[in-house]
Structure 1
Amino acid sequence: MQVTALLAEDPTPMRLLGAGVVLALLWWCWCCFAWLGNVVRADTGPLLGVLLTAMAAVLVVSLTVPEVFAGGEGGINAPLVFVLCYGALRVLHLVAYWVTHPGDDRLHATIRATALTSVAPPFVLLVIGSFFTGWTQILIWLAAVLVDYGAIYATGGSGWRLAAPGHFAERHGLIVIIALGESIVAIGVAVRGYSPTYGVLAGSVAGLLVSAALWRLYFRRVGEPAEERLAAAEGDARTRLARDVYTFLHLPLVGGVVLTALGVKQLLHQVADTGHYDLAEPLHGVGAWALAGGVGLFLLGAAAIRSRTGGRPPAALAAGGVVCLAAGPAVEHVPGLAALGALAVVTAAVVGLYGREAGPARA
C-alpha cells in the first residue's frame, strides 16, 4: 500500500523506477526473514529479541517510504533513515543465522560471503544515494539492488537450509494474497469522498474481476505445483529452487499487482471525479501503462515460475503477458472504463486458456 501511494503521489517514469527500487529493497528484507523463520523458532530465546528489533526497524522503514524521495523535506532525512534501518535489518538477519547455528561451518562461510558481497557494498551505495535526489538517487539505489541480487544469485544455494517447504510456500502465498487484497482496498481509496455512480460501480467490479483472475491463476495453477516441486527437491537443489521461484520470481508477481492497483486507482478516481473528467476520457501517462502492464508483469512472472518448476511451456501466459505489457499506448486512446473492462476479459481469457493448456486444476 505504501509503495502504491508513493507511485500515486507522482506518477512519472522517474517515480515508477524509484518505487520499483523501493519495492525490491522491501521485498529483500521480507525474504531474508522468511528464510530465517523456516529453520529456527521465532518465539523463544534471544531470537525473539532480534525479531522484535527487526519489527521496529521495519515499522520505521514503512513510515519513511512516502518521503523516501523527498530529500529530507519532512524534518528528518527520510532517505537516510530508510537506508540505516534497511542495513540494520540485513545485519540482524545474518547475526540471527550465525548465533542459532554455532557449529555450522558451511553456513558461516556463506554468511561471511553474503556480508562481504550482498550486504556491505549495496549498503554503502544506498547511503551515498540517500544524500542525492532525483535520477541520481534512484540510479545509485538501483545499482545497489542489482549488486545485492546478483551477489545472492552468485553465492548459490550452498550453506542455506529450507526445513519446511510447505511453510515456506505458504508464507509467499500469503504475501501474494495480501497484495491482491490491497489492490481491492485501492478501489475504495480511489473513490472515497465521491458519490457512487454507475461508472464507479462498473469500474469497481471490473477491477475486482481482474484481481480474482490473478488469484485464480496463482493459487490454482502456479502456487500449488511450485510447492509440490519444492517439497520433492532436496539439499542444495531445494535451496536453489526456493531462491529462484520464491525469492526472485515472486517479486514480479507482487510488483505486477502494485502496478495494476495504481492503474485501477487512478482510473476510478478519474471516473468518480465527474466535475473534472468526462466518463469517456482515457487514462494517460504512467497510469495507462500500469493498468495493463501490471497484469502483464504478473503473467510473465507466473510463466517464469511454471518454466522453472518444470511445467509445460506456458504459451498462453507468456503471450498474454507480452500483449498486456505492450498495451499501454492503446490504453491512452480508449475510454478508461472500456480499457478496464477489456483488461478483465483478457485476463480471464488468458487464465482460462492456460487452464486448458495445463490440464485439470488441483483439488
Structure 2
Amino acid sequence: MTPSRPTLLRNREGHAKVGYAELFFDLVFVFAVTQLSHTLLEHLTPAGALRTGLLFLGVWWLWIYTSWVTNWLDPEKVPVRLMIFALMLGGLLLSSSLPDAFAERGLAFAAVFAAMQIGRSLFMLWALRGGRSPSNFRNFVRITLWLTASGALWIAGGLAEPEARAWWWLGAVAIEYLGPMAFFRVPGLGRSTLADWDVEGGHLSERCGLFIIIALGESILITGATFAKLEWNPSTIAAFCTAFLGSVAMWWIYFDSGAARGEHRIVHGGDTARQARLAYTYLHLLIVGGIIVCAVADELVLVHPDHAEPAGIAAIVGGPALYLLGCALFKWVTNTRRFPPVSHCAGLLLLAALGLAAAPLHLSPLWLGAATTLVFVIVAGWETAALRRANTVPLTH
C-alpha cells in the first residue's frame, strides 16, 4: 500500500490563523494602494476616476481571490509559500505598471494580472489533486475556465490602443465579478454550490480586517509624507490634524464594533459562504475604495487648503461617502437588523448636504475637509454611544 501524498491544505480544526507569509504578501498591496492613490491624484478627472476605479476593481479582486485560496491552503507548507512569493513578485510588477496601465505598460499589467489569476487557480487544482476534495476540485476547474476567459480580455485590452483599452478591461472585470454570482456555471460542468465554498470564516474576516489596516496605514503615510514637505503654518497644521483625526475616526467606525460583529456572524451565523461572498468579497471593496479616495482628499486639503476644483471637492466629499456606504452595508448584512445603521445613514445625508452646499457657500477645501472629518466623528460617537447604552456590543446570530 503506497503512502498518500502529504496534503497542502490547512487543518480546519479550530480558527485558521493568518500566517506570516500571508502578511508578507499583503505588504505588496501597500504599494498597490499607494500607486492607485497617486494615479487618481494625478488624473483627478471623471475619465481618470473611472480608469483608476477599473484598475482598483482588478487589484481588489486579485487580492481577495488570493485570500480565499490561502483560506484553504496551508502557508506553512513550502510549496504554498513559494506560490505566495511568486504572487508577491507578480504583485510588485503589477503595482509598478499601474500609473501607466492606460499608456505604454498596458500589456505588462494585463499579462501579469492574467498570469497571477490563472496561475494561482492552477496551483489550487494541483493542490487538490488525488481526490482530496472532489467537489472543490471541480469548483476550481470552473473557476479556471472563467479566469481564462477574463484573462483573454485582459490581454486583448493590453494589446489594444489606450482609447479602446478600458472597454476590453471592463469586459474582463465583468466576467471576474459575475463569476461568483453565477456560481461559475460552465456548460457540461454544472455550477458550484455554497457547500463548495467551505471557507473558515474567522480567517477571511481577519484577512479583510488586516487589509483595512493596510489601506488606512497608506492614508496616514501619504499624509505624513506630504506634511513633511510643506511649510508648517496654521493652515497646513490644521489640515494635518484634520486628516489624522479623520483616519482615527475611520478606524473607529470599522473596528470598534463592526469587525467583531462581522467575525461573529461569519463564524457562528450558519451562512458562512454567503457572508464570505457578500460581506467580505463584494462590500469590502467599497470600504477600501473609500479609504483610497480619502487619502487623495487629505493630500488635496494639505497642499491646496484654500482652493479646489470641482473634482477635488467631489473627492473630499465622495471618499467619506463611499467609506460610510461600505461600512453601513457591511454592518447591515452581518446583523439581523432590518435597516442599515441609523448613524451611518445620517452621516451619508450630512455628506450629501455638504456636497450640495460646498459651491454655493464657497467652502474652502480645509473647511470642507474639517466638516467631513466632523461627520466621521459624529457617526463614530453616535454608534459607540448607542452600543454602550445597550451595555453590550451586539453579536447577533
Q: Which residue of structure 2 lines up, in the alignment, with residue 309 of structure 1? A: 334
Distance change in 2, residues 1:106/1:35 (3 Å): same
Question: Match for residue 63 of structure 1?
Answer: 96
Note the C-alpha offset of 1:311.
Answer: 4.2
Change beyond 3 A, Cα 1:211–1:310 = same
Say if 2:56 is the partner of 1:23.
Answer: yes
The answer on whether the counterparts of 1:253 and 1:298 sit within 8 Å (CA) in structure 2 is yes
Find out whether 1:159 has 2:196 as its counterpart: yes
CA distance in 1, matches of 2:371, 2:321: 14
For 1:303, the aligned partner's letter is A
Distance 1:227 1:50, change over 3 A: same
Contact 2:118 2:148 in 1 (8 A): no
Q: Secondary structure at the match of 1:96?
A: helix
1:1-363 equivalence runs, <5 A: 1-70=34-103, 72=104, 78-102=105-129, 103=131, 104-117=133-146, 119-133=147-161, 136-155=164-183, 157-163=194-200, 165-234=201-270, 237-271=271-305, 281-312=306-337, 313=339, 314-324=341-351, 327-332=354-359, 333-358=362-387, 359-360=390-391, 362=393
Report if the CA contact (8 A) 1:220-1:362 is conserved.
no
The answer as to whether partners of 1:290 and 1:328 remain within 8 angstroms in 2 is no
What's the counterpart of residue 276 of structure 1?
none
- Aligned counterparts of 2:299 and 2:211: Cα–Cα separation in 1: 20
1:22 CA drift (Å): 0.9
Q: Distance in 1 between matches of 2:125 and 2:195?
A: 15
- Contact 1:7/1:19 (CA < 8 Å) preserved in 2? yes
- Assess, with a 3 A threshold, how the Cα gap between structure 1 residues 327 and 128 changes in structure 2: closer, same or farther: farther
Code of the residue aligned with 2:90 in structure 1: it is: A
Question: Which one-letter code corresponds to 1:341 in the other structure?
Answer: A
Alpha carbons 1:299, 1:320 under 8 Å: kept = yes
SS in 1 for 2:256: helix
Identity of aligned residues (%): 27
Counterpart secondary structure, 1:226: helix
Equivalent pair of 2:67/2:207 in contact (CA under 8 Å): yes
Which range moves more in the overlay, 308-317 or 24-33? 308-317
**Alignment check: 8 A CA contact 1:260 1:290 kept:** yes
Distance 1:173 1:159 in 2: 24
CA RMSD in angstroms, aligned pairs only: 2.0
1: distance between equivalents of 2:238 and 2:68? 41
Shift of 1:135: 5.2
Contact (CA 8 Å) 1:14, 1:135: kept in 2 or not? no
Q: Which residue of 2 aligns with 1:275?
A: none
> What is the number of equivalent residue pairs in this alignment?
344
Residue 110 of structure 1: CA displacement?
A: 1.3
Q: Which runs of 5+ in 1 are unaligned?
A: 73-77, 272-280
1:322 Cα deviation after fit? 4.7
Shift of 1:57: 0.8
Paired with 2:202 and 2:55, the residues of 1 have a C-alpha distance of 28
TM-score by length of 1: 0.88
Question: Are the equivalent residues in 1 in contact too, given 2:227–2:240 (CA < 8 A)?
Answer: no
Runs of 4+ with deviation above 6 angstroms? none
Q: TM-score normalized by structure 2?
A: 0.81
Displacement of 1:329 = 4.8
| Paired residue type of 1:317 | H
